[in-house]
Amino acid sequence: MSENAEKSLSKFIKGSGIVLIGLIISKISAFSYRIPIARVLGKSQFGLISLGVGIMTLLSTVVLFGFEEGITRKTSIYKGKNEYKKIKKLFFTGASFTVSFSLMMSFLTFTFSDWISKYILHTPKLTPVLKIFSIGIPLICVFRLLISTMRGIQRMDYRLYMRGMVVKLGRLITITGILIIGGSLLGTSIAYIIPLPIAIFLSLILLRNYLLPKINRNVLSMTLGKEILIYSLPILFSGIAWKLLGWVDSFMLAFYKSSSVVGLYNVARPVAGILPVGMATTMLLPVLSEKYGQKDKKTMNEVMKTITRWILIFSLSGTVGLILLSKNLILFLFGSEFLRASQPLIILAIGYLIFYPFLTSRSLLKTIGKTKLLSFIYFIVLGSNILLNLFLIPRFGLEGAALATSISMILLGIIPGIVTLKKIGFDYFSFDEIEKTLLFFIISVTIIILPYYFLFTHKYLFINLSIWVLFIISFFLLHLIMSGYTEKDRLLINHMKKILRID
């Protein structure tokens, strides 16, 4: 391995510590708030809240006009030049646009909530929930712009505190508190939004005290606003496509089925996507950007090969656990009312498994400025997802939505992967190493998993957990014994030991 690749991998691992902590806290908190809602309110009302969250998230993306990426990019440039006054103008100019449009969108959503609920989603009971979540649209827009500024100034600790702790952990606390004192569907909807104004207030204090001193009225620039808008508009469409990919299945389940089915689905999908492999691409992007600026294609390929392989290793290990423990997890976390979500959970987990190893190709396309191509791919996949849902949901219901999403996720991985390999000319797959990993996986499944499934009829939690641990031991030992680990892998492991302080 080249010296440059070693340095880049070291930088990747060292920078991943704070992101790993943030992602773990965010994942646990974002996932955990669903548990008390589902257990106390049941699958139908949980489905209504999920739909409200989905609509608020989608509409906030629309009125942000892609400003998030524009503000992050411009803030990073101004920070490098120590032009903090321009950062101040940038944020408040973007916020003035966003607040104006988000208030308008909030008013329209509130006014037409009954029509949206009855005639678009065929779920009349959604109306009061949607009215509450419409109030959250301006709040979530402002907060997302603040997070973009934090990203631009490279303060991942601020982002961790505000997004991971104040909002997501705060949401878990407020929702649990409301439900403990006998909160209803509407009370729980309000509890979901409460952490947002608190996070906005605290974020403004952080940014004002340390980065945006002496805020005055002369902070708006129409020229700067137009510049951000021109840069951000193309990103807007890819952002909408990406958000729709996350919610179109729930919306179509509401249209064809019921809020109860939506509730089941919104238990299965977060559990299926719980593996924190997104950490890899979050930290990979700046490393690739640096090497791309240096025109060091060789180092980029070496780094991507290593990260891709380890994503595959952890994805395979985690997915086996999700499949083995699917019923146990659903029963333990959400109760018997949600057991039917175990089958779509398995279908979705397999889709994510195939999608994850191609994440590095998406990071590469962003690095080399192929955002329009990526947007085009998003729209192709979104179109296929809608068509698949139209065909599969009326026939297979919950499982049909899961299958449609899994196929779409696979396409979202494979298409950028093929483009990166064949058209762009970056070799981010080490096929020899990938073949070894897949061989060791097949051997471990054959000697550990298959006999268990054929010989035992009762799948208890402790036994399933034990079998999963045995599988992981077998999988990693095969890599060790059969020389499956390379010099790059050992470097990665050693740096992880230092971060985790393992002797």
Q: Exposure pattern of 62-79 as b/e (b: 16+ CB <10 Å)?
A: bbbbbbbbbbbbbbeebb
Answer whether residue 181 shows pLDDT above 60: yes
Answer whether residue 202 shows pLDDT above 50: yes
Q: Spell out the alpha helix ranges (H) of 294-356.
A: 297-324, 326-334, 342-355
Per-residue model confidence (pLDDT) at position 176:
92
State the average pLDDT over residues 157-163: 78
Percent of the chain with pLDDT over 70: 76
Quote the CA–CA distance of 209 and 329 in Å, as a whole number. Answer: 44
Per-residue model confidence (pLDDT) at position 91:
78
Per-residue model confidence (pLDDT) at position 503:
43
pLDDT tens digits for range 41-82:
999 999 999 999 999 999 998 888 777 777 777 777 777 677
| Mean pLDDT, rounded, of the chain | 81
Per-residue model confidence (pLDDT) at position 425:
64
pTM of the model: 0.84
Answer whether residue 495 shows pLDDT above 60: no
Percent of the chain with pLDDT over 90: 37
pLDDT category of residue 500 using cuts at 50, 70 and 90 = very low
Q: Which of 139, 150, 160, 171 is nearest to 68 (CA)?
A: 150
How many of the other CB atoms lie within 10 Å of CB of 381? Answer: 23
Answer whether residue 188 shows pLDDT above 90: yes
The length of the chain in residues reads 503
pLDDT category of residue 36 using cuts at 50, 70 and 90 = very high
pLDDT tens digits for range 246-302:
899 999 999 999 999 999 999 999 899 888 776 656 555 555 555 555 666 666 667
